[in-house]
Chains A and B, each alone.
Chain A
Amino acid sequence: MPATPVMRRPFLRGSPTSSREYGRTPSLLLVTPLLLLLSGGFLYPVGKLFWGSIFAPQATLKHYLRIVEEPLYLLVLWRTFEIAFIVTVLALLLGYPVALAMARVSGRAATLVGACVLIPLWTSVLVRSYAWIVLLQRNGVVNSSLLEAGLIEAPLQLLYTRGAVVVAMTQVLLPFMVLPIYSVVSSIPDDLTRAARNLGAGGLQAFLRITLPLSLPGVAAGVLITFVLSLGFYITPALVGGPSTLMMSTLIGQQTTELLNWPFAGALSVVLLLATLLLVVVFRRALALNKGFKLG
């Protein structure tokens, strides 16, 4: 039914129809290159890391015990999730209205908003992170504006703080939140909100009862993508963060490039991967309880 295209989002349904339309063999052929890439570029190295972390060369759990026993590693793991969570929430709060606006406007305004979202995405993460350094450093744009405005008397420490990491990561990851929400919101027929208005709902009510619940699949996708990307973020925290914002990926990077302790780096990666997977599963379970998702 054209009236319900929203509920047919592929990322919510476990039963794609392509095998019915194309037959199994062509379908398999289509995904083969990706499968090869995935197994060669992901499964094999991850498997090897995992293997290396428990057989070095005899079976041992010492690397995992170290993670549990040394306070540093659980602290960093916890902090990684904490920062990822804050970034995701911020990106959602900032990104949702943008996605909504993108879906609403048309013509030149739509091009403009779209460009504002996409151009940062096409810019290197490195460049964007350095841009934040320029803005936030002690004699940077933000501090000098505040000083000139007389709002502060001495420069604030903005760079190499948790705030800097959160702000920069939010900005870098915002498109990954906006685009999935936009794609879902723009597929909600205008008639649905009109119908709600016509039936007596004010603007806010219509949003809360119709647009918001129907956009949840996009929100779920955006939240998941942003959160998972945040967990593994490397460049931005390394550039604009300090030791107090040490995240798992930086720690893993240290183990591999500086300390050359691959088994332990493997153990850290496995723990991060498992924690991420666990969270994704829990998240999807929680969403499945919402009946808007069950219908798929």
Chain B
Amino acid sequence: MDGMNVSVWGLGKRYGSVRAVEEISMDVRAGEFLSLLGPSGSGKTTLLMMIAGFEMPSMGKISIGDRDVTYVVPNRRNVGMVFQRYALFPHMTVADNIAFPLRMRKVPRQDATRRVCDALALVQLEGYGKRLPSELSGGQQQRVAVARALVFEPPVLLMDEPLGALDKKLREQMQIEIKRLQQRLGVTVIYVTHDQEEALTMSDRIAVMRDGSLEQIGSPAELYDGPATPFVADFVGKTNFLEGECRSYNGTGLEIGIGQSGFIRLVQCPPALTVLPKPGDRVRLAVRPEQIRLLRPGEADGPALEGVVETVIFVGSFRTFLVRLPGGELVHVQVHADHNASHPGEGDRVSLAIPGHAVRVFGQARC
């Protein structure tokens, strides 16, 4: 099966005066794995339901492949869907569940039986066909739901937080399985999740949603390294936010004072800003914890922030230091665990070196 592209233009949904989804336009490429990421109430599920045909858009257009499906009933859209709670039919066996879409398409019985077997094999559930969904574990039910959504070879698969009900370990395992399956089959996947790690792990691209609007769309790396807004910076990965004030700007560089805690010097024009800040403007800085270098006091060869280690958290392959700056800000610093090196302990004074290229500067408007 080959994936198809899915496009939405100016798609919006209103319930009375409440805007659940603002006018959104985006293109999901054929064979792409795209996640709709956002907190609950951000409109991601509504957007998915409109693509599936369960919600009628208030405005805009949806097309799958070259076909405008805006007003096509759900059963004629030919998209697969995996629901949050799997939505397996409790009164049908696993095989009957998987055969359901084939039966609806009047696939000949023999052909259908073969395809059901293939689908069960695809999700590694050979021999489970005669069982009832209630006799399966959560992970197994999830696979049946995937098999059922794929057995009729839809070019597009919609998934609505399909792993939300599973425990962490099983969830991580399933993430990889689903990703592999998608790559093998070449199906376009639109995947709704509120779990940023899951989105980062699985997606070709992520569309971050907030309050019904599209905040940013891009590859995991683009989102991680170049968040367009503080919201994205915060929601995707961990970020330190620091409030600061522009001190000088001489055409190529910018110096930002962090209150009583020191200052940071940026060499290049900060990418997130469309309007360059003037001296005296208040700005917001975002720095990833792993981008900060932790040094002994005075070791820095440029401007640095001084602080005291308050807490050290050991997280297996790395450590997180919580450093209190003189202005009161708490900064997370993440360092790869090197068991031979000596790390500062709690109460030690440290110096934080922040490379200019690692800093994102945002105006105050949306802080």
Measured CB to CB, the residues of A under 8 A from B are: 1-4, 6-7, 189, 191-192, 194-202, 205, 209-210, 213-214, 291-292, 295
| Chain B residues, CB < 8 A from A4 | 90, 133-134
User: What chain A residues lie within 8 Å of B87 (beta carbons)?
Assistant: 3, 189, 191-192, 194-195
| Contact call A195/B81, Cβ cutoff below 8 A | yes
Give the residue of A2, A192, A199 whose beta carbon is less than 8 angstroms from that of B101: A199
In the complex formed, the residue of B with least CB distance to A7 is: B90
Interface string of B202-238 (1 = CB under 8 A from A): 0000000000000000000000000000000000000
Decide if B319 is an interface residue (CB 8 Å cutoff): no
A7 contacts B134, C-beta separation under 8 Å: yes
Give the distance to chain A from B158, nearest Cβ to Cβ, in Å: 8
Instruction: Assess whether B57 is interfacial by the CB under 8 Å rule.
Output: no
Is B148 positioned at the interface, with any CB of A under 8 Å from its CB? Answer: yes
Chain B residues closer than 8 Å to A201, beta-carbon distance: 75, 100, 104
- The 5 A-B pairs at the shortest CB distance, nearest first, are namely A200-B104, A4-B90, A191-B87, A199-B101, A195-B87
Are A198 and B86 within 8 A (Cβ)? no
Q: Tell me whether A3 and B88 are in contact (CB under 8 A).
A: yes
Q: Is A1 touching B75 in the complex (CB atoms < 8 A)?
A: no
Contacts A189-B85, A194-B74, A198-B80; A292 near B134 (Cβ below 8 A) = no
A8, closest chain B residue (CB): B134
Residues in chain A near residue B105, CB distance under 8 A: 200
With a cutoff of 8 Å between Cβ atoms, the chain B residues found around residue A1 in the complex are 133-134, 138, 141
Name the distance in Å between A188's Cβ and chain B's nearest Cβ.
9
Complex formed: what's the CA distance from A209 to B97 in Å?
A: 11
Q: Which one of A2, A199, A292, A295 lies within 8 Å of B104 (CB-CB)?
A: A199
Give the contacts of B331-351 with A (CB-CB under 8 A): none
What 1/0 flags go to B66-84 for Cβ under 8 Å of A?
0000000111011111011
Of all chain B residues, which has the CB nearest A193? B87
Contact of A3 with B133 in the complex, beta carbons under 8 Å = yes
Partner pick for A194 among B78, B83, B88, CB 8 A cutoff: B83
- Which residues of A lie under 8 Å from residue B132 when comparing CB positions? 295
- Could you list 30 A-B pairs, sorted by A, with CB under 8 Å? A1-B138, A3-B90, A3-B141, A4-B90, A189-B85, A189-B87, A191-B84, A191-B85, A192-B89, A194-B81, A194-B83, A195-B83, A195-B87, A195-B88, A195-B89, A197-B53, A197-B54, A198-B53, A198-B74, A198-B81, A199-B75, A199-B104, A199-B149, A199-B152, A200-B78, A201-B75, A201-B100, A205-B104, A291-B91, A295-B90
How many chain B residues touch the partner (CB < 8 A)?
A: 32
CB-based contact B91/A197 at 8 Å: no
Inter-chain contact A295/B134, CB cutoff 8 Å:
yes
Contact A200 B152 (CB under 8 A): yes
**Which residue from B53, B85, B86, B100 sits with its C-beta under 8 Å from A199?**
B100
In the bound complex, do residue B75 and residue A2 qualify as a contact, i.e. CB atoms below 8 Å apart? no
User: What residues of chain B lie closer than 8 Å to A197, measured between beta carbons?
Assistant: 53-54, 73-75
Q: From A290, which residue of chain B is reached at the shortest CB distance? A: B91
State in angstroms the CA–CA spacing of A202 and B103 once bound together.
12
User: B131-163 interface mask toward A, CB cutoff 8 Å, 1 = contact, 0 = none?
Assistant: 011100010010000001100100000000000
Complex: how many Å from CA A205 to CA B149? 18
Q: Could you mark each residue 306-319 of chain B with 1 if its beta carbon is under 8 Å from any beta carbon of chain A, else 0?
A: 00000000000000
When the two chains form the complex, which single residue of B80, B89, B141, B149 contacts A210, counting CB atoms closer than 8 Å?
B89
The answer to whether A199 and B148 touch across the interface, beta carbons within 8 angstroms, is yes
A132 shortest CB reach to chain B, Å = 39
Q: Residues of A contacting B84 with CB < 8 Å?
A: 191
Closest to A202 in B: B75
Instruction: Say yes or no for B52: interface residue by CB 8 A criterion.
Output: yes
**Is the pair B79, A198 in contact by a Cβ cutoff of 8 Å?**
yes
List residues of chain A with CB within 8 A of the CB of B91: 7, 213-214, 291-292, 295
Nearest A residue (CB) for B96: A209
Beta-carbon nearest neighbor of A291 in chain B? B91
Which residues of chain A have C-beta atoms less than 8 A from B133's C-beta?
Answer: 1, 3-4
Closest-by-CB residue of B relative to A214 is: B91
Which chain B residues lie closer than 8 Å to A7 at the CB level?
A: 90-91, 134
Closest A-chain residue to B54, C-beta based?
Answer: A194
Q: Contact at B90–A191, with CB atoms within 8 Å?
A: no
Determine the distance from Cα of A191 to Cα of B80 in the docked complex, in whole angstroms: 14
Residues of B273-291 whose CB lies within 8 A of A: none
* Minimum distance in angstroms from A24 CB to a CB of chain B: 27
Most chain B beta carbons < 10 A, residue from A195, A205, A209: A195
How far in angstroms is the closest Cβ of chain A from B78? Answer: 8
In the docked arrangement, what's the CA distance between A2 and B100, Å? 21
Please report the C-alpha to C-alpha distance between residue A205 and residue B101 in the assembled complex, in whole angstroms.
12
In Å, the complex CA distance between A191 and B133 comes to 15
How far is it, in angstroms, between the C-alpha of A2 and the C-alpha of B134 when the chains are bound? 10
Task: Name the CB-closest residue of B to A1.
Answer: B134
Given contacts A200-B100, A200-B101, 18 further A-B contacts (CB under 8 A): A1-B138, A3-B86, A3-B88, A4-B90, A4-B134, A7-B90, A192-B89, A195-B87, A198-B52, A198-B79, A198-B80, A199-B104, A199-B149, A200-B75, A200-B105, A201-B100, A213-B91, A295-B132
In the assembled complex, the Cα of A137 lies from the Cα of B352 at a distance in Å of 95
Within the complex, which residue of B75, B88, B89, B138 is in contact with A198, where a contact is CB–CB below 8 Å? B75
Looking at the assembled complex, report how far the CB atom of A292 sits from the nearest CB atom of chain B, in whole angstroms.
4
